[in-house]
Every structure is written in C-alpha cells, then in structure tokens.
C-alpha cells in the first residue's frame, strides 16, 4: 500500500491509499473554497450521562445530488470534486460538514472506489483489503490525537438508512469520549470477568460456535453469526477467532481472509429478500476498544452488519419502545435470520 497525504483548497486533509507503489498523486484542488467554519459542540446529558453533538452547520450539507455532480467522484472533464485527481483507489478526507471537529473530535469520509455505480459488495478482494488497510491506518493516526478517546469506522448504505450521497463510501468518527454503546460493553465485560473469571467476548463466540444454529459463515480466522438477542431483523456479528482490541492488532492472514468473508456476507445481504428486490440497506459498524480505559486489551474487536428492512417492501422503524425506552422488539427470530443467510449462499 502507498499512502499520499495532501490538502484540499480549504485546508482539509486528503489522503490517497493506492495498491501500487508507483502511483503519483500530485493533482491540486483548484476549487475557490472558503475556509471551513463549524459550530460543533458536545453537550453532556445530566440525566442519561451520555453526550450529544450539536452541529447546526450540517443543515447545509450536500443532499442527494445528481450522479454527474457527485462530490465523491474524481475530478474529470472540467468538473471539480472533493477528490482532485482523475482516479483513485481509496481516498479519505476530512468531512466538510463534520459532526465533530477540533477539540470535539474529528470526522472523515472514506471513498471505497472511484466507481460511482458499484457498492462495497462489488469490490475485488484486493480492493476490500485496501479499504481495511485505510481503516487501520486512520485508527492508528487518530489514536494519537490527544482529544480522541474512540475511533468508529462505519458505512451507511441506502436511502432508507439516510444516506445523502450515492457514491460507495463510509465514514470515520473520532470521538472525544467513550460512546454509550461501548461503555455498556465494557461494563458487561467487567461483570462477566468478576463472575466467571473468563472473557465475555471469547465466551460469546464459543457459545455461538457450540450451538451452531445461528452461525452464518466461518473461516480459519473469522466467524460470523446472528447474535442470540439480535436487535435488528437481519443482523450479523463478525469476530476474529483470535481476540484483539482493535484493527491495528490483526495479522496478515486475518486481514486476507477478512476480505473474502466480508464480501460474501455483503453479497448474501443483497440476496435476503429474493431476486428483483432493490439492494438491501444496511449499516456496517466496527466496534473497537476505546483508548486509555482499564482493561482495553480485554475488549473484542468485531464488526456488526445489520439492515432495517424486515421483509420485502417493509422497514423496521424505531417506534415507542425502541426510541423511547431503548427496548428493541425484533420481528424475525435470530435462528430464522441465520437460516435465511445460510440459504442465500447458493442462490
């Protein structure tokens, strides 16, 4: 992998990740951009103890532009975009409309490919592996920022999820706090250690492997399953068999197999609801250990992939119980979801 660091016209950082070492990235951003002005602020909720990012400047962000005006496509034929070069493998840049900025953290956009018409599932194993390298490199660099406590790499896919740009891309949030979801995992992990003397993540994976009913796909280095208490209609958790706290700790063999396993899972997601159905909307989220917390080495890196579509033409909305009390009600039994995800492998 070759990494090239440059800046955009307004001073934001742009990074190219290339599979070839002889690629030269010297294109200059020729847009007449004003300096980025943000109003990001993190406020603490005294009742719940969690944090909320207030970012009113995001009201003006780009919203469903036509394909020929996509800001994530490379700059070609006189049209200038966020990517000054006329092609790229993987590109990462600071978000122009960040939810978090400065002392409140950082937000980045990850463009998986310059091809506007594909999705992550269409990438080759080499391309998917390069994205993983970019996620890993950004995790390592963002971990060095003094204000950053946790790095979250994720992808939203589909208008139903709220995606406003159709180009295949994801995001990275560098939070100045430990997220509520992770705090819950850390508390559960600590309680499990005190109660049993064992690691919670190891025991969860071992339980699913022993039961087998919710296993979707396994490899030498990875195991994918629908969790016992899945929140979403179709939800997969992907764990490395050797527990590590974050992406930086994955070795070469594990990285190579990740591309194979993950691409297969994404392709199965698009086949869940049968032929002729539109692409399945999903959220793909890496859970990594936060920095500077007790017992972070006990945390288990894993990826969570889920869709809000519960059946053909119907979405799972977060209504009263879910939104008001954070108590999920799942219409699809996890065992049935796992069976369906195994079935679609041969379709």
Mean of pLDDT values over 71-100: 96
Instruction: Look up 169 and say whether it is catalytic.
Output: yes
Instruction: Indicate whether 184 pLDDT > 60.
Output: yes
pLDDT in the model for residue 56: 75
Instruction: Indicate whether 289 pLDDT > 80.
Output: yes
CA-based R_g, the chain, Å:
20
pLDDT tens, residue by residue, 297-312: 999 999 999 999 999 9
Catalytic option among 169, 237, 239, 302: 169
Could you give the count of Cα atoms lying within 13 Å of 51 in the half-sphere of its Cβ? 19
The set of residues, in sequence order, having a beta carbon less than 8 Å from that of 69 and lying 6+ positions away, is 79
Instruction: Indicate whether 235 pLDDT > 80.
Output: yes
Instruction: Indicate whether 60 pLDDT > 80.
Output: no
Main-chain dihedrals φ then ψ at residue 281, nearest 5 degrees: -70, 145
pLDDT in the model for residue 229: 98
Tell me how far apart the alpha carbons of residues 53 and 152 are, in angstroms, rounded to a whole number: 15
Is 132 within 8 Å of 278 (Cβ atoms)? no
Instruction: Indicate whether 63 pLDDT > 70.
Output: no
- Average per-residue pLDDT in the chain? 95
Residue 178 confidence class, pLDDT cut points 50, 70, 90: very high
Give the rounded percent of residues in the chain with a pLDDT score beyond 70.
Answer: 97
Tell me the whole-structure pTM to 2 decimals. Answer: 0.95
pLDDT in the model for residue 202: 98
Give the rounded percent of residues in the chain with a pLDDT score beyond 90.
Answer: 90
Strand 215-218 with 169-175, pairing: unpaired
Is 234 within 8 Å of 284 (Cβ atoms)? no
Residue 177 confidence class, pLDDT cut points 50, 70, 90: very high
Tell me how far apart the alpha carbons of residues 76 and 115 are, in angstroms, rounded to a whole number: 13
CA angle (173 as vertex; 294, 177 as ends), nearest 5: 35
Three-class SS state of 45:
coil
Is 186 within 8 Å of 228 (Cβ atoms)? no
pLDDT tens, residue by residue, 197-225: 999 999 999 999 999 999 999 999 999 99
pLDDT tens, residue by residue, 38-49: 778 899 999 999
Tell me how far apart the alpha carbons of residues 194 and 197 are, in angstroms, rounded to a whole number: 6
pLDDT tens, residue by residue, 152-169: 999 999 999 999 899 999
Residue 64 confidence class, pLDDT cut points 50, 70, 90: low
Mean of pLDDT values over 270-296: 95
Instruction: Indicate whether 337 pLDDT > 90.
Output: yes
């Amino acid at each position: 992998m070759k990494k090239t660091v440059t800046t955009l016209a307004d001073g934001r950082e742009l990074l190219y990740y290339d599979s070839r070492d002889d690629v030269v990235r010297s294109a200059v951003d020729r847009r007449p951009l004003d300096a980025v002005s943000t109003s990001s602020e993190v406020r603490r909720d005294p009742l719940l103890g969690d944090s909320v990012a207030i970012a009113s400047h995001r009201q003006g962000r780009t919203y469903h532009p036509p394909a020929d005006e996509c800001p994530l496509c490379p700059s070609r034929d006189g049209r200038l975009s966020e990517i000054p070069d006329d092609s790229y493998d993987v590109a990462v840049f600071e978000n122009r409309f960040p939810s978090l900025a400065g002392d409140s953290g950082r937000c980045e956009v990850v463009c998986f490919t310059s091809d506007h018409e594909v999705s992550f599932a269409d990438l080759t194993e080499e391309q998917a592996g390069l994205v993983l390298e970019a996620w890993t490199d950004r995790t390592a660099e963002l971990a060095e920022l003094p204000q950053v406590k946790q790095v979250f790499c994720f992808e939203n896919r589909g208008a139903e999820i709220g995606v406003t740009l159709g180009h295949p891309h994801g995001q990275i949030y560098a939070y100045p706090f430990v997220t509520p979801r992770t705090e819950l995992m850390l508390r559960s992990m600590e309680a499990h250690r005190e109660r049993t003397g064992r690691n919670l993540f190891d025991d969860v994976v071992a339980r699913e492997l022993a039961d087998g009913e919710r296993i979707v796909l396994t490899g030498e280095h990875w195991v994918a399953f629908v969790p016992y208490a899945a929140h979403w209609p179709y939800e997969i958790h992907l764990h490395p068999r050797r527990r590590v706290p974050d992406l930086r700790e994955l070795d070469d063999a594990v990285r190579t197999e990740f591309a194979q396993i993950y691409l297969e899972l994404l392709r199965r997601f698009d086949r869940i609801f049968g032929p002729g159905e539109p692409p399945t909307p999903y959220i793909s989220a890496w859970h990594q250990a936060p920095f500077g917390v007790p017992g972070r080495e006990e945390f288990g890196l894993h990826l969570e992939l889920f869709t809000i579509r519960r059946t053909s033409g119907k979405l799972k909305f977060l209504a009263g119980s879910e939104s008001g009390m954070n108590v999920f009600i799942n219409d699809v039994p996890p065992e049935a979801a796992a069976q369906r995800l195994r079935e679609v492998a041969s379709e």
